[in-house]
C-alpha cells in the first residue's frame, strides 16, 4: 500500500507525540507541517525531519498532501478542517472535533460533498486497554451492561502547560478538553446518547500559570471548570460523569461499568494501555483480565484513516463519532446553563 501523504497543521505540544508515532508507521508519509507561527513550524520540521514547512496555505497547496492532521487550538478546529476540505484533502482533527454542533455538522456536510473522509481524536479507544474492555462488554462477560460511573478530577492543566488559556476558554474546560476521552469510550461500548441532564460551576475566576516562561501570569477563566452529568443511552444504559479542574486531588482513571453479572474497571481512556479488571458479586478482590501491551501512541487513528483512504474500508475513529461526542458535550453544557434535560440527536450509529 502506498503511504498516504500527511501534513500536520498546528505545531504545539501535542504535535510531537503525533509526529513520533506517524514517523514509524508504514501507512503514512509525513510531507509537511504548518503553524500560524511559521518559526515554530520550522523548528518542529527541523526536530522531526519534516521536509516542508510554512503557513497553512502552503501545506494545503502541496500536491503530495492527501491527509491533514489538524492539531490547532479548539476554536480553529472547524475553520482549518473546512479549509482542508476545500483544498480536496481528507482531514483528521484533534479533540474536540469542533467547538459547536453546528460547526461539526458543517464539517461533515462539506466533507461528504467533497468526497473526502473525516476522522477525529481521541483514538485511545483503539488501544489494547479499551479494546479489551469493549470486548468484555460486547461478549456479555459482565452480563447486560446497565450503567457507568466516570470521575476525572484534578487541579487543571495551568500548572504544567506553558500557554494554558485556550484550555479554559470556549472549546476548553474539563468537559471539552478531557471529556472526549471518556465520552468516546462510553459511546464505543454503549452506543449513542439520547439525552442528558447536568450541573456545572466555575470554581475560580482566574488561574496562575505554573511553569514555563510565563510562570506567574494570571489569566481569566471563561468556562465551567467542574461539570457533572447524567447521560441516557439509546440502548437503555445510564452513565454518571464528573469532569473537574477544581480539585487538588487528582483522579484520572475512575471508570467503572456495571452489568447484571459483574462490574468492569475500565483503564484510563487517556491512555492506550492499562489494567482491565472484573469483580463479580461476592468476589473479595478484583480479577485482572489480560490485555496486550501494544506500544500504541497518538496518531493510530490517523493510520486507521489512511488505510480507509487506500482500501475503501470504514475507519473507526470517524468524524461522525467525534461529532456525536461534540453534540453530547454541547447538550451537557446547555443542560447545566438551563437547568433542564436536553435531548441529543446525532446521525452517528455504531
Same domain, 107 and 129: no
Question: Based on the domain organization, do 203 and 334 belong to the same domain?
Answer: yes
C-alpha cell at 99: 467547538
| Domain containing residue 91 | 4-122+297-316
Residues 257, 306 share a domain: no
pLDDT at residue 295, as a whole number: 59
Residues 129 and 242 in one domain: yes
- pLDDT for the residue 35: 97
E runs forming strands in the chain:
4-9, 28-34, 52-54, 67-70, 90-93, 118-120, 145-153, 193-201, 206-208, 218-220, 226-233, 238-244, 251-259, 262-265, 276-280, 287-289, 342-343
Strand partners, 68: 7, 91
Residue 321 belongs to some domain of the structure: no
Strand partners, 207: 219
Look at residue 322 and tell me if it is in a domain. Answer: no
Indicate if 9 and 130 belong to the same structural domain: no
Q: What is the DSSP string of 296-311?
A: --TTHHHHHHHHHHHH
Distances, alpha carbon 82 to alpha carbons 41, 51, 59, 252, in Å: 21, 24, 14, 33
In a domain, 168, yes or no: yes
Terminal CA-CA length for the chain: 27
Same domain as 288, residue 155: yes
pLDDT (0 to 100) of residue 336: 98
29/95 same-domain check = yes
pTM of the predicted structure, to 2 decimals: 0.95
Q: Whole-angstrom Cα distance, residue 46 to residue 60?
A: 20
* β-strand partners of 349: none
Domain count, the chain: 2
Half-sphere exposure in the Cβ direction for 19 (13 Å, CA): 24
State the CATH number of the domain containing residue 145. Answer: 3.30.360.10
> What is the rounded CA–CA span in Å between residue 10 and residue 53?
11
As averages over each run of 10 residues, the pLDDT of the chain (350 residues) reads 97 96 96 96 97 96 98 95 99 97 97 99 95 97 98 95 92 94 98 98 95 94 97 98 95 93 97 94 94 80 98 97 98 97 87
Could you tell me if 150 and 117 lie in one domain?
A: no
Assess if residue 349 is contained within a domain: no
Amino acid at each position: 500500500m502506498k503511504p498516504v501523504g500527511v501534513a500536520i497543521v498546528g505545531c504545539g505540544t501535542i504535535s510531537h507525540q503525533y509526529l513520533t508515532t506517524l514517523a514509524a508507521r508504514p501507512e503514512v508519509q509525513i510531507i509537511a507541517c504548518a503553524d500560524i507561527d511559521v518559526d515554530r513550524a520550522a523548528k518542529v520540521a527541523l526536530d522531526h525531519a519534516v521536509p516542508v514547512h510554512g503557513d497553512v496555505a502552503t501545506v494545503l497547496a502541496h500536491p503530495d498532501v492527501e491527509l491533514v492532521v489538524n492539531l490547532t487550538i479548539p476554536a480553529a478546529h472547524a475553520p482549518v478542517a473546512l479549509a482542508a476540505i476545500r483544498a480536496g484533502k481528507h482531514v483528521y482533527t484533534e479533540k474536540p472535533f469542533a467547538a459547536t454542533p453546528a460547526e461539526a455538522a458543517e464539517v461533515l456536510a462539506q466533507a461528504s460533498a467533497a468526497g473526502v473522509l473525516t476522522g477525529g481524536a481521541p483514538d485511545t479507544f483503539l488501544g489494547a486497554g479499551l479494546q479489551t474492555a469493549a470486548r468484555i462488554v460486547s461478549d456479555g462477560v459482565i452480563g447486560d451492561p446497565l450503567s457507568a460511573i466516570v470521575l476525572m478530577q484534578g487541579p487543571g492543566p495551568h500548572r504544567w502547560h506553558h500557554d494554558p488559556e485556550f484550555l479554559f476558554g470556549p472549546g476548553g474546560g474539563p468537559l471539552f478538553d478531557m471529556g472526549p476521552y471518556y465520552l468516546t469510550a462510553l459511546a464505543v461500548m454503549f452506543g449513542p446518547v439520547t439525552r442528558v441532564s447536568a450541573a456545572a460551576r466555575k470554581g475560580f475566576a482566574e488561574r496562575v500559570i505554573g511553569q514555563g516562561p510565563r510562570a506567574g501570569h494570571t489569566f481569566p477563566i471563561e468556562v465551567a471548570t467542574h461539570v457533572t452529568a447524567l447521560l441516557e443511552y439509546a440502548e437503555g444504559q445510564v452513565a454518571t460523569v464528573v469532569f473537574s479542574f477544581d480539585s487538588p486531588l487528582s483522579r484520572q482513571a475512575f471508570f467503572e461499568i456495571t452489568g447484571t453479572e459483574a462490574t468492569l474497571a475500565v483503564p484510563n481512556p487517556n491512555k492506550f494501555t492499562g489494567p482491565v479488571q472484573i469483580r463479580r458479586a461476592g468476589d473479595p478482590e478484583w480479577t485482572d483480565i489480560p490485555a496486550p501491551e501494544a506500544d500504541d501512541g497518538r496518531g493510530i487513528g490517523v493510520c486507521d484513516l489512511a488505510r480507509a483512504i487506500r482500501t475503501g474500508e470504514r475507519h473507526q475513529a470517524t468524524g461522525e463519532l467525534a461529532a456525536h461526542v461534540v453534540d453530547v458535550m454541547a447538550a451537557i453544557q446547555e443542560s447545566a446553563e438551563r437547568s433542564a434535560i436536553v435531548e441529543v440527536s446525532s446521525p452517528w450509529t455504531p
